[in-house]
């Protein structure tokens, strides 16, 4: 299969699943009790580290940490996969198996994060680019660096937003306000040949 078709199918699958789950979420919000359930749903949609409690963290920490460690261990294969399927196969990488495993692990880690803290946008789009600028393109170091820089970024944004405002601003709002212009700058520079 042509690599472009695989990427296109992955993107279209993401768009379709996003539309499906947005519709389902709209139904849940529509039928939710406006006084008890709806505020909790809205707070989760905006994301926040205050949503994380010890009990949930304890329960989800083991699969979360296991997923992150496995992603880091298999991140070396991403260097070969970034050259294309044929080159990766020539280097002895079991392309389909590794791709499915990494997609599963990344989905698991992302889903567990969203379950804990709600929907916090733009971190996954901005932080890997920042890490690539600081660390370089080698995925063996880039993947763990992205995780570490992302965690530090979230803590800093959360702390600054708590210090600047008298009320707690959901971290998803803060990361969007920072991430959108930053990503726009990255896209402009990428058009000029800088990645």
What pLDDT score was predicted for residue 4? 59
Distance CA 85, CA 91 (A): 10
pLDDT at residue number 29: 94
Which top CATH class is 43-191? mainly alpha
| Residues 152-193 pLDDT 10s | 999 999 999 889 888 888 999 999 999 999 888 888 887 776
d(CA 134, CA 37): 43
Alpha-carbon distances, residue 183 vs 8, 32, 82, 173 (angstroms): 21, 35, 21, 15
Residue ranges in the chain modelled with pLDDT below 50: 1-2, 195
Element holding 50 (H helix, E strand): none
C-beta separation of 93 from 77 below 8 A = yes
């Amino acid at each position: 299969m042509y690599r472009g078709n695989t990427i296109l199918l992955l993107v279209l699958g993401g768009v379709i699943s996003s539309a499906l789950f947005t519709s389902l979420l709209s139904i849940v919000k529509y039928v939710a009790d406006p006084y008890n359930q709806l505020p909790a749903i809205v707070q989760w949609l905006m994301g926040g580290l205050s949503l994380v409690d010890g009990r949930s963290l304890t329960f989800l920490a083991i699969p979360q940490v296991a997923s992150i460690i496995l992603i880091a261990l298999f991140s070396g294969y991403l260097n070969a996969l970034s050259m294309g399927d044929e080159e990766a196969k020539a280097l002895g990488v079991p392309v389909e198996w590794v791709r499915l495993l990494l997609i599963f692990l990344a989905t698991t880690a992302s889903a567990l994060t969203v379950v804990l803290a709600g929907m916090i946008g733009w971190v996954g789009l901005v932080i890997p680019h920042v890490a690539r600028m600081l660390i370089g393109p080698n995925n063996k170091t880039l993947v763990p660096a992205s995780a570490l820089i992302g965690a530090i970024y979230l803590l800093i944004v959360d702390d600054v937003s708590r210090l600047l405002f008298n009320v707690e601003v959901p971290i998803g709002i803060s990361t969007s306000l920072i991430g959108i212009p930053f990503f726009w700058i990255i896209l402009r520079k990428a058009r000029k040949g800088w990645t």
